[in-house]
Chain A
Amino acid sequence: MVHLTRRGFVASAAALAGGAAQTGSAWAQGAYPSRPITLICPWGAGGGTDACARIVAQGLEKELGQPVNVVNRTGGSGVVGHAAIAAAPPDGYTLGILTVEISMMHWQGLTDLTPRSYTPLALVNEDPPGIQVKADAPYKNVKELADAIKASPPGKMKASGTGQGGIWHLALVGWLRSLGLQPNHVTWVPSNGAAPGMQDLAAGGVDIVPCSVPEARAMIEAGKARSLAIMAEKRNPQFPNVPTIGEELGTVYATGAWRGIAGPRNLPPEIVAKLGDALKKVYDGQAYRDFMNSRGFGMKWADAAGFAKFMDEGNAKMGEDMKAAGLAKAA
């Protein structure tokens, strides 16, 4: 519920006028873009999202003919950077890379920001979760694992791969729910990322790690773990031997960690169109494809409208799963 006070109304009216004046001046200076663009990355330098932002920035620079600088605004578990993107003036000179957390954090009451706080430009990546078990685990396929989970008493089996309420935890919750089980039928063991989770899997500490297959790749190649299925609609061309859940179980369940480019709300449509075209060219370019393949990241494209729809759907699904798992803050 938004309380519209007089002071608040005056402030927002002033902000609107300011925004209009700024876009006006931007157009007066000539065709967009006439000066360098900043791309905000809410996560630290050296990580996967940072690398993704930098490769997109390189491509945009070539397409738009203006420097595109990646600025890491970290802190607050991603909230600080996401807030900075939303609060930037809507003139097209400050953009950002959104990550799946934007559709999760507001359900936990950590921020007021939702996917609707932005002007979506393009979805550029999605990594579906896989279902990894220890190499010598007795389950030959995901069906046997699902049967074993159903037969086990609640809380007996353990899974890990990210913090409590992280994306892979919610993937597990969603999958268990699609099997008709309680969200806590398999106990979640919080870990500091996928790699420690995979290590604990190999050390025999947990039974399942539902992280993305590329994150588990080195351990699978080392013969320490196996990937039984991925929670996606289609197989990953880089891992053609790993079936989807739908093929094996007949129940469709798909989710994933994604990254996309967006600007603050109320970006002028001309700028959205121009950036959308440029991003499409970047996405189709060889440099981007090579980068994504080398890092093992999943390619997924959606244009501005498609990205908006994708985020809305994902947001609603996240809300359901988080409420079911008791992770959402009681409203």
Chain B
Amino acid sequence: MTTFLEALGMVAAPDVLLAILVSAIYGLVVGSMPGLSATMATALLVPVTFYLSPIAAVATIITASAMAIFSGDIPGALLRIPGTPASAAYVDEAYAMTRKGQPELALGIGLWFSALGGIAGTISLVVLAPTLAELAFSFSTFEYFWLAILGLMCATLVARSSPIKAIAAMLIGLLVSCIGMENPGGIPRFTFGSTDLLGGIEVVPALVGAFAVSEVMRALLLPEPPKMPHRRFGSIMAGQIRLTKQYWNQMTRGNIVGIIIGVLPGAGADMAAWVSYAMSKRFSRTPEKFGTGHPEGLVEAGASNNASLASGWVPSLLFGIPGDTITAIAIGVLYMKGLNPGPTLFTERASSMYALYIIFMLANIIMIPLGIMMIRATSHVLRAPRAAIMPIVLVCAAVGAFATGNNLFAVTVVAAFGVIGFVMEANGYPVAALVLGIVMGTMVEQSLVTSLIKSDGSLLPFFERPVSAILAVMTFAALLWPAGVWLHRRLGRRGRAQAA
């Protein structure tokens, strides 16, 4: 108890509280800009943390990343442009709700279930950290392979177009992820002698191009859609309690999936959002409503991606192994501030640990009032003329891409994927599946090739190891499910025909 009070005192220091507030606003603004991801928001904070006290430094990272993941939903819902890769999974759904005249509900779901998900993730961090960390150790590359395959299979579920076109789009994404030398062999592929292509195509510029630039191009061709009825935004929080009761199971499932995916090193909030949205659709009683502005999938995916953010800190704090790209940066800051990750952090420096827990809670609580203010401020976007919005989106996309590495090549990538995304959408190929392919491609290849190197080419360990076997069964079940359903119906009909 004394350590807890001590921790409370550490967090209540004015510099820490100020750091939380400022980084919260910063995270909200950066996350809501198309092209600036949560990872980048965190990376840009590192030079600032040099000048802060240890607790304040870690507080800025925790707060800014949580805010950025939520606020990535805002441009997604308002303009159909996801702010971060984690929002790409359900951007169509959120935008459909806006077009139905429920933007405040769509954004309210993002906010409310992000905050609840963050709190659930924090509780898992406090209560289950050692148990969850052991889980991470039962995952070797064999298990990651199945996980990545399951992730890829979300492509057909998430998209509303024909499954064939979704798979084709995903395969294009996989092809894009082959570019460069960041592959297990370390061999440059498809680089055509270009130095810039050696590093491959990064996810964020590709995402920004495929969603934002293609949206701008479409706006050039299509007549302006009918104006949304001019009105003030209604209450953002109204109806959230009702949705929480109605979709309690979905929310809990989203939280659990998010926590598990977050704990696994290398799989972060992006993957959590995809898997949860796909699961929601698969297990829904009304899957046909998905994609038409139905809250169910948003609840589950929103709950999932913020839960994964908090649980991603488990392996980082216990073993110095990053759960995702954000915690990879955070580990550097922890070392620099003398809060070395490891079990001693939990025992010898327990008060600092408690302080981190309190900051996690605090960040997710202040997310609600600050998020409401942010949503109100950005809602004017819906009333602004399209001719004013689109050029700004284009500038944001170009500047954001350049800022990631001060490299003009990223801007070229944005432009190229804008054209690719435009052509794909015009022909009914979902760009979300393309982005999924790019996100998961490296993981699929890396886990398959390294697994085969370790097993000397034998396929047996993919089915032999206990966790691997379970994941393999899940993968094949998901693959064969549609065939099974078809067969069942057919046999059932024949059975009835014979009986008659």
Contacts and interface: CB of A to CB of B under 8 A. Distances in A.
B140 A219 contact: no
A163 to B, nearest CB: 5
Interface string A52-81: 001100100000000000111111110110
Contacts of A191: 450
A224 B341 CA distance: 14
A73 B335 contact: no
A73 B338 CA distance: 29
Contacts of B342: 217-218, 221-222
B47 A54 contact: yes
A77 B340 CA distance: 28
Interface in A106-147: 108, 110-111
A74 to B, nearest CB: 3
Interface in A170-206: 187-192, 195-196, 198-200, 202-206
A51 interface: yes
Interface stretch (B212-220, B253-261, B319-327): B319-327
Contact of A158 (B47, B186, B454): B454
Given A46-B42, A80-B199, A205-B454, A222 B329 contact: no
A83 interface: yes
B140 A200 contact: yes
A155 interface: yes
A321 interface: no
A314 interface: no
B407 to A, nearest CB: 5
B44 A219 contact: no
A188 B198 CA distance: 22
Contact of A189 (B42, B321, B409, B450): B450
A271 interface: no
A203 B265 CA distance: 12
- Report the interface size class on chain B: 35 or more
Contacts, number: 162
A294 interface: yes
Nearest to B185: A164
Interface string B163-201: 000000000000000001110111110000001111100
A139 to B, nearest CB: 19
A74 B405 contact: yes
A75 B340 contact: no
A195 B322 contact: yes
A80 B195 contact: yes
Interface stretch (B20-28, B131-139, B289-297): B131-139
Contacts of A55: 50
Nearest to B136: A199
Contacts of A155: 456
A316 to B, nearest CB: 21
Interface in B27-48: 40, 42-44, 46-47
Contacts of B318: 218, 222
A24 to B, nearest CB: 29
A196 B321 contact: yes
Interface in B297-344: 315, 318-322, 328-329, 332, 335-338, 340-344
Interface string B117-157: 00000000000000000001111110000000000000000
Contacts of B88: none
B447 to A, nearest CB: 10
Nearest to A160: B450
Of B182, B187, B336, B456, most buried by chain A (CB within 10 Å of CB) is B336
B450 A77 contact: no
A53 to B, nearest CB: 10
Contacts of B332: 46-48, 51, 295
A190 B139 CA distance: 17
A203 B140 contact: yes
B139 to A, nearest CB: 7
Contacts of A190: 184-186, 446, 449-450, 453
Contact of B141 (A110, A200, A202, A221): A200
A218 B319 CA distance: 5
A189 B182 CA distance: 14
Contacts of A74: 199, 404-407
A249 interface: no
A296 interface: yes
A166 interface: yes
A236 B90 CA distance: 50
B466 to A, nearest CB: 13
Contacts of B453: 158, 187-190
B181 to A, nearest CB: 6
A323 to B, nearest CB: 15
Given A79-B198, A224-B319, A44 B43 contact: yes
A77 B182 contact: yes
Contact of B321 (A73, A158, A199, A327): A199
A191 B343 CA distance: 25
9 contacts: A45-B46, A74-B405, A75-B410, A108-B186, A110-B188, A164-B186, A217-B340, A222-B319, A295-B336
The 4 closest A-B pairs by CB, nearest first: A218-B320, A74-B405, A164-B186, A46-B43
